[in-house]
Amino acid sequence: MNRKFVLVLLVGFFLFGCGSGLEFTDLPIGGNIDAVDKEGQSVSLKSFPEPVLLVFFGYTYCPDFCPNTLAKIKAAVEPLSDLEKTKFKVVFISVDPVRDSPETVTKYVRFYLPQSVGFSFSLDTTKQIVKQYAAYVEKTEDGQSFDHSTYIYVLDKNRKTRKLIKSTDSKEVITKSIQLLSGNSI
């Protein structure tokens, strides 16, 4: 075989993630959170042992995106082995701290996925975290709902944001992201 061809093939193999079709990068947004929730509990994403965190923003009264995203994640993790299911955690951060208590938010997300946790922080802390993640949150005119970002932030074991999953991405993107990042193959 021609050496140039082999070299090009090897470079392509490494650049494109061994054929995974997924691109991971070190994004300058998101990352670890060190804060105190509304119950006075210290929260640090670095304290979770799972190598992959799927972080997203929402609220328990959300009529569409939040339940649809949780259902999509649930469907995405169904094909994972029992071992692979221990390699990630869903972190749901409420953008409605007035109505959402930490207990309510965790109960809400665990209805869909047992490997999840919900957080509710003070309004000031919520604003700070939203800014850190460059997320969009705005209360609607009726004052009862929120327009908010629809991204899932994929954090690696060092709590660096490595990928943004769009609400329009397939469930397979979630499955492969968990598998690739938890396998330390990146």
State the CATH number of the domain containing residue 164.
Answer: 3.40.30.10
Judge whether 68 lies within some domain: yes
Chain segment 101-138, per-residue pLDDT in tens? 999 999 999 999 998 999 999 999 999 999 999 999 99
**Domains identified in the chain, total number:** 1
Judge whether 76 lies within some domain: yes
3-state SS record for 27-67: CCCCCCCEEECCCCCEEEHHHCCCCEEEEEEECCCCCCHHH
Contact 131, 137 (CB under 8 A): no
- In this prediction, residues 15-33 reach a mean pLDDT of 74
Judge whether 162 lies within some domain: yes
Q: Confidence band (pLDDT; 50, 70, 90) for 21?
A: low
Inform me whether the pLDDT recorded for 177 exceeds 90. yes
Q: What is the dihedral of CA 112, 161, 52, 33, to 10 degrees?
A: -80
Tokens 């003070």, residue?
A: 122
Judge whether 11 lies within some domain: no
Judge whether 178 lies within some domain: yes
Distance separating alpha carbons of residues 58 and 118, to the nearest angstrom: 10
Judge whether 37 lies within some domain: yes
Sort 14 into a burial class: Cβ within 10 Å, 0-12 / 13-18 / 19+. Answer: exposed
Q: Confidence band (pLDDT; 50, 70, 90) for 20?
A: very low
Segments forming the whole domain that contains residue 123: 23-182
* pTM for this model (two decimals): 0.85
What amino acid occupies position 117?
V
Judge whether 14 lies within some domain: no
Query: Which candidate, 123, 149, 166, places its Cα nearest to that of 58?
Result: 149
